[in-house]
A and B are shown apart, each in its own frame.
Chain A
Amino acid sequence: MINVSNLSKKIGDVNALNGLSFSAENGKITGLLGPNGAGKTTCLRTVFGLLKADSGFAEIDGIDVAKQPMQAKQNLGLFPDPCGLYERLTPREYISFFAQLSGLSASQAKEATTQVIDKLSMNDIADRRCQGFSQGQRMKTALAQAVVHNPTNVILDEPTRGLDVMSTRILRELLLLLKAQGHCVLFSSHVMQEVAALCDHVVIMANGQVIAQGSIAQLCEQAGKDTLEEAFIALIGSDEGIAA
């Protein structure tokens, strides 16, 4: 479970986060939806401890990330944006490396890597160096890295960016599987279809603040609209930065 409470963060002269609070529960897919520049990536970077909040706190399974970063990160899987691949390593080496950093032994990491490669149907690219990979192949590799150690909480930053239909379906299936297994999945996006198709709980944010949150039905009802897209526009008061 991920809990964000009253987070504020100033980057330069910009208030990137402005009293942000929300929760992402286990067994649910929570979508962080917002236009470009809303503060989604800043929020996620604060949750996994790369940025320090000026005020407020972020907790993973009840552990404050700023106070006990090592313990808090033990049960966390990350899919950052950009992916952060090592171009000269193969996906098998890359996934196994991060599995070991997340606490798995060499043999456990090897086994878990083989399993996740099978699960994401990436055997054809598993032993090729990442250099020259397509966006879909990069996404799969980064996704495998995020879930290889079977973390309770998985955070994905813009995972659908630049994906084709097949890759998007693989991503969807994996996220739904993680949800079914009781994991807490938090992902940011500005693509309406993905959020509408996957999320149990949607947090709409703009200018570093939560504008509204709830299930898709609740948000549509709150805005008095039929679709999530229309509700989103009505709630944030602009159609800026909406893709698709």
Chain B
Amino acid sequence: MINILKVLFKKEVMDASRDKRSVMAGLYYAIGAPIGICLLMSVLLQQFASPDALKITIENPSNAPGLVAHLASSDIKIADDKNDPLLKPITLSISDDYKQNLSEGRPATVTLIADKSDDKLAKHINRVEKAMAVYSSEIASLRLVSRGIDPNLMRALAIEVNDQATPDSKGGMILGLATFTIILTLFYAAMSLAIDTSAGERERNSLSLLLSHPLSSLHIVLAKVGAITAFSMLGLVIILIVSKVVYPMVAWEQLGFSITITPEFMLFCIAICFPIALMSSSLQVFVSFMAKSFKEAQSYVTMVLFIPMALSMITTYDIATDVVQWLPIAAQQFALMEFIKGNPIPVPQLLLSTLITLVLCALFSFLSARMLKSEKVVFGL
């Protein structure tokens, strides 16, 4: 049996490795995904690092020279030209009695006029509001001091935050995204090959010849699953190497964290992703054999891949319920994120999800082997 499996596996790998377009289609993802994320993040970080000068409209600025000067010190200025590209549709209207109220110690009215439903405008409105709140607080403190009262009386609590997060553990969302792309590689790196070796082989009529030989359909399925797993793992190794090279190139320190892909993480990742690769391969073979043609298989496999993607995204965006944390993919991804953050690994969840992953692999392989005994499946009837 082992010898037959070896012969079948060798042929599957040889056949698949010569299908250069399919191999490269999968590997493009492994190479491109981390590079794409890093380029995107670099652009975003540049925007964070140097916020644009914000220009707004201020009505009656002469009534509040102090406020206008304070806003200007925060790079929020009055637009001189109505066609200025930096001018945002935010208007501050200083009331006529502003000066009088301010001098008499009463709240001076400033009206902020803007469309808060405009998502693009929201961060600018927020910036103006924050700058005005700081000004209001400063003036209030000065009023108290001038009346001989310690402004600290206004602070009932002195809140001190002792942040124990390490630079590695802070980048939750980015880490989620990084591990998400790594897990997805296991599904995308060998997708074309999985379809080619199952639905494709049937369409080329070599499957029926293979089944006419003295070997069990389970041997055929296991060899295919093994070969696809080998290519998935190749994709995984490539994405880990590319990630190790490109992630340090992004200036994460601006966000106060770092992402370090260590050799230990890479080995840990390879070990816990191997069962996922097996499950992914068996799932794709199963779905491809269920379809009646190559094209149908492409559609079905793409649809089915939404399930692992959803499980992975739930973990990425940290919206997993307690139950989901025990499920395959979600638990493994969570373990990867905890490892990279330097936190303890959730061992029970990881063990159970790995076991479920392997059981699913066995189930899909068994079902595929059973399908190959059906003449309807073999001849796509």
Q: Mask for A2-46, Cβ within 8 A of B = 1, else 0?
A: 000000000110000000000000000000000000000000010
Residues of chain A within 8 A (CB-CB) of B206 are 84-86
Smallest Cβ-Cβ distance to A69: which chain B residue: B214
A88 at the B interface (CB under 8 A)? yes
Q: What's the Cα separation between A163 and B210 when bound, in Å?
A: 24
B15 at the A interface (CB under 8 A)? yes
What's the nearest-Cβ distance from chain A to residue B185, in Å? 24
B381 at the A interface (CB under 8 A)? yes
What's the nearest-Cβ distance from chain B to residue A86, in Å? 6
Knowing A74-B214, A102-B214 touch, does A84 contact B205 (C-beta < 8 A)?
yes
Indicate which residue in B15, B204, B207, B213 contacts A101 across the interface (CB closer than 8 Å). Answer: B213
The stretch from A47-55, A112-120, A213-221 touching chain B is A47-55
B119 at the A interface (CB under 8 A)? no
- Asked if A73 contacts B212 (CB within 8 A), the reply is yes
Smallest Cβ-Cβ distance to B19: which chain A residue: A88
- Asked if B215 contacts A101 (CB within 8 A), the reply is yes
Q: What's the Cα separation between A49 and B209 when bound, in Å?
A: 11
Q: What's the Cα separation between A129 and B18 when bound, in Å?
A: 10
Q: What's the Cα separation between A83 and B207 when bound, in Å?
A: 11
B121 at the A interface (CB under 8 A)? no
- Asked if A78 contacts B7 (CB within 8 A), the reply is no
B287 at the A interface (CB under 8 A)? no
- Asked if A80 contacts B11 (CB within 8 A), the reply is no
B378 at the A interface (CB under 8 A)? yes
A236 at the B interface (CB under 8 A)? no
- Asked if B204 contacts A98 (CB within 8 A), the reply is no
With a 10 A CB-CB cut-off, give which of B3, B8, B206, B381 has the most chain A CB atoms.
Answer: B206
Q: Mask for B352-381, Cβ within 8 A of A = 1, else 0?
A: 000000000000000000000001001101
Residues of chain B within 8 A (CB-CB) of A12 are 381
Q: Mask for B185-224, Cβ within 8 A of A = 1, else 0?
A: 0000000000000000000111111111111100000000
- Asked if A50 contacts B212 (CB within 8 A), the reply is yes
- Asked if A83 contacts B205 (CB within 8 A), the reply is yes
- Asked if B208 contacts A88 (CB within 8 A), the reply is no
Interface residues of B, dominant DSSP:
helix
Interface members, chain A 47-85 (any B CB < 8 Å)? 48-52, 69-71, 73-74, 76, 78, 80, 82-85
Knowing A50-B375, A51-B375, A89-B15 touch, does A101 contact B205 (C-beta < 8 A)?
no
Q: What's the Cα separation between A13 and B74 when bound, in Å?
A: 82
What's the nearest-Cβ distance from chain A to residue B214, in Å? 4
Q: Mask for A80-100, Cβ within 8 A of B = 1, else 0?
A: 101111111100010001101
- Asked if A103 contacts B211 (CB within 8 A), the reply is no
Q: What's the Cα separation between A57 and B379 when bound, in Å?
A: 21
Indicate which residue in A11, A49, A50, A100 contacts B7 across the interface (CB closer than 8 Å). Answer: A100
Knowing A51-B375, A101-B4 touch, does A82 contact B205 (C-beta < 8 A)?
yes
20 contacts between A and B (CB under 8 A): A11-B381, A50-B208, A50-B212, A50-B375, A69-B214, A70-B215, A70-B216, A73-B213, A80-B205, A80-B208, A83-B205, A84-B207, A84-B208, A85-B206, A86-B204, A88-B19, A89-B18, A98-B209, A101-B7, A103-B214
Known A73-B213, A85-B206; 14 more pairs at CB < 8 Å: A45-B208, A52-B375, A73-B212, A76-B212, A80-B209, A85-B204, A86-B204, A88-B14, A88-B15, A89-B14, A89-B15, A98-B209, A102-B213, A103-B214
Which 3 interchain pairs have the tightest Cβ spacing? A84-B209, A84-B206, A88-B18
Please report A residues at the B interface, Cβ cutoff 8 Å.
11-12, 45, 48-52, 69-71, 73-74, 76, 78, 80, 82-89, 93, 97-98, 100-103, 129
